[in-house]
């Protein structure tokens, strides 16, 4: 299996699932809230805190034309520029957030939305880049990100197979093969019946890269299922407290929920295990309670072994039941007491 390395942490190839807490807009315009969210992410057991690096003017323009009004989402009727002006993480906060993440022992990187954001993040020495779902068609941006030689994680929320092929080709064209794809359903929140977690496995097989999940469903079920399908990266939006509010609050996990998800993912990993038909000591001990052949009523010398006096019962210390039909009709060579483990040494050859 392929693996990538982000800031010294290996992902894939038998390593634990890499769990990302997405800060996004969950700071309500407060640097202190953002910093405490980083600290809380560490407490949940996350491996990484991820930012988004844009301004309203680098991601869109301030236009009141109908094209720029949001339709069919939880942000219905809002203007794009207005939404992003509320949601963005000020660039002057990034240094402090990166430093706090390092202090906490968390990896920190970001999703850039234009070249200026990439240049800014390069100055902060980010160890990886994430391409958001709606940017997967921005081939010039992907090429520029890939050219920096850092691992590139691509969300596939709105992507067709052709879109994914173009994005991967853009990375490889820049000599960058450290690529991961995240299955994503770009609804907010996403219906669980649209999660299609079997895609995690298919993306890995089809494109030969690490795969994972960028999740907008409610709860931990989908991340656990993704883990069982081989997800090596799990990303969920993280909020310090739902009372903070904000554009992403309704589909974000708070500290208790995120902690429970991390625990569930780790338990799922442990449950998956490996292909191994050897028995543990406990399993081998359990064979004591399996079936074997026992004398179930007293047998006299010369008496014929029958279904009446020998049966397959618990425990498992007697002769294997596979010999049952072979021993029927044989004669006992001595008296045998009820409860005796049956064996070939008790009958004539």
The predicted-structure confidence for 115-153, as pLDDT tens digits, reads as follows 999 999 999 999 999 999 999 999 999 999 999 999 999
CATH of the domain at 116: 3.20.20.70
Which of 16-25, 68-77, 156-165 has the weakest average pLDDT? 68-77
Give the pair of three-digit tokens for residue 3. Answer: 């693996």
* Model pLDDT, residue 179: 98
Task: Report residue 205 as tokens.
Answer: 């097989």
The residue assigned the tokens 């997967």 is 136
Give the mean model confidence (pLDDT) for residues 320-332: 97
210: left (phi over 0), alpha (psi -120 to 50) or beta: beta
Segments forming the whole domain that contains residue 310: 281-346
Verify that 215 and 324 share a domain, yes or no: no
Q: Look at residues 232, 164, 213 and name the one whose alpha carbon lies nearest to residue 15.
A: 232
- Weakest mean pLDDT among 63-67, 200-204, 208-212, 333-337: 63-67
| pLDDT (0 to 100) of residue 207 | 97
Domain boundary among 223, 254, 272: 272
Q: What percent of the chain has pLDDT over 70?
A: 100
- pLDDT band for position 189 (cuts 50, 70, 90): confident
Token digits of residue 2: 């392929």
- pLDDT bucket at 104, cuts 50 / 70 / 90: very high
Tokens 């026992």, residue located: 294
Q: Which band of pLDDT confidence, cut at 50, 70 and 90, is reported for residue 349? A: confident
Task: Tell me: do 252 and 120 sit in the same domain.
Answer: yes
- 41 touches 100 (CB < 8 A): no
More confident residue, 246 or 56: 56
pLDDT band at 274 (very low <50, low <70, confident <90, very high): confident
Pair (49, 191) in one structural domain: yes
Average pLDDT over residues 89-97: 98
Instruction: Taking residues 152-160, report their average pLDDT.
Output: 95
Phi-psi region of 255 (alpha: psi -120 to 50; beta: other; left: phi over 0): alpha
Pair (194, 302) in one structural domain: no
β pairing state of 310-313 and 292-295: antiparallel
Say if residue 133 is in the same domain as residue 37: yes
Inter-residue contact 184 to 155 (CB < 8 Å):
yes
**Paired tokens of 178:** 């450290």
Which residues lie closer than 8 Å to 225 by C-beta, 6 or more apart?
195, 197
Would you state the structure tokens that stand for residue 286, as one six-digit string? 């359990």
Domain boundary among 241, 272, 303: 272
**199 CB-side CA count, 13 A:** 20
Residues 200 and 342 in one domain: no
**257 and 301, same domain (yes or no):** no
Q: Residue 68: phi, psi to the nearest 5?
A: -100, 5
**Overall domain count for the chain:** 2
What lies within 8 Å, CB to CB, of 107 at 6+ separation is 6, 7, 9, 47, 48, 49, 101, 127, 128
Q: Do 80 and 146 share a structural domain? A: yes
- 63-89 mean pLDDT: 85
Q: The domain spanning residue 321 has which CATH number? A: 3.90.1210.10
- DSSP letter assigned to residue 14: T
**Residue 265 and residue 223 share a domain:** yes
SS3 162: helix
Domain boundary among 272, 304, 324: 272
Among 121, 171, 164, 172, which Cα is nearest to 141's? 171
Instruction: Say if residue 173 is in the same domain as residue 316.
Output: no
Contacts of residue 252, defined as CB under 8 A and 6 or more positions apart, other chains included, come to 22, 24, 26, 236, 237, 238, 239, 242
How far is residue 298 CA from its own chain's centroid? Answer: 59
pLDDT of 214: 96
pLDDT at 205: 97
Average pLDDT over residues 81-110: 95
Q: DSSP character for 334?
A: S
- 185 burial level (CB within 10 Å; 0-12, 13-18, 19+): buried
Confidence of residue 19 (pLDDT cuts 50, 70, 90): very high
pLDDT for residue 75 is more than 80:
no
Count the alpha carbons within 13 Å of 346 in the hemisphere toward its beta carbon: 23
C-alpha distances (whole Å) from 294 to each of 326, 329, 336, 346 are: 14, 15, 10, 11
Residue pointed to by tokens 């019962």: 313
**For the CA atoms of 120, 122, 123, 126, what is the dihedral angle to 10 degrees?**
110
Q: How far apart are the first and last CA of the chain?
A: 55
């Amino acid at each position: 299996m392929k693996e990538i390395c982000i800031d010294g942490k290996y992902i894939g190839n038998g390593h634990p699932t890499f769990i990302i807490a997405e800060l996004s807009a969950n700071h309500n315009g407060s640097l202190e809230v953002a910093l405490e969210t980083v600290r809380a992410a560490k407490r949940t057991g996350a491996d990484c805190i991820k930012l988004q690096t844009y301004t309203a003017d680098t991601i869109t323009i301030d236009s009141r034309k109908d094209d720029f009004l949001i339709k069919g989402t939880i942000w219905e009727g809002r203007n794009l520029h207005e939404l992003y002006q509320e949601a963005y993480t000020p660039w002057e906060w990034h240094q402090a957030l990166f430093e706090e993440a390092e202090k906490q022992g968390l990896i920190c990187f970001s999703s850039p939305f234009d070249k200026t954001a990439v240049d800014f993040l390069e100055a902060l020495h980010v160890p990886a880049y994430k391409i958001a779902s709606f940017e997967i068609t921005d081939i010039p941006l992907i090429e520029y990100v890939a050219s920096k030689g850092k691992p590139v994680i691509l969300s596939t929320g709105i992507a067709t197979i052709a879109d994914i092929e173009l994005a991967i080709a853009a990375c490889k064209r820049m000599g960058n093969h450290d690529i991961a794809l995240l299955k994503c359903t770009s609804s907010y929140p996403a219906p669980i019946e649209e999660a299609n977690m079997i895609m995690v496995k298919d993306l890995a097989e089809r494109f030969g890269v690490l795969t994972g999940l960028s999740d907008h469903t409610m709860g931990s079920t989908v991340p656990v299922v993704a883990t069982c399908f081989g997800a090596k990266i799990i990303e969920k939006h993280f909020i310090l407290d739902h009372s903070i509010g904000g554009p992403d609050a309704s589909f974000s996990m708070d500290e208790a929920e995120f902690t429970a998800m991390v625990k569930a993912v780790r338990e799922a990993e442990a449950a998956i295990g490996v292909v191994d038909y050897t028995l543990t000591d406990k399993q081998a001990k359990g064979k004591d309670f399996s079936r074997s052949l026992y004398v179930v009523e007293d047998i006299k010398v010369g008496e014929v072994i029958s279904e009446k006096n020998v049966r397959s019962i618990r425990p498992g210390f007697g002769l294997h039941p596979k010999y049952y039909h072979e021993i029927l009709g044989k004669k006992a060579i001595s008296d045998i007491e009820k409860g005796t483990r049956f064996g070939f040494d008790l009958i004539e050859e």
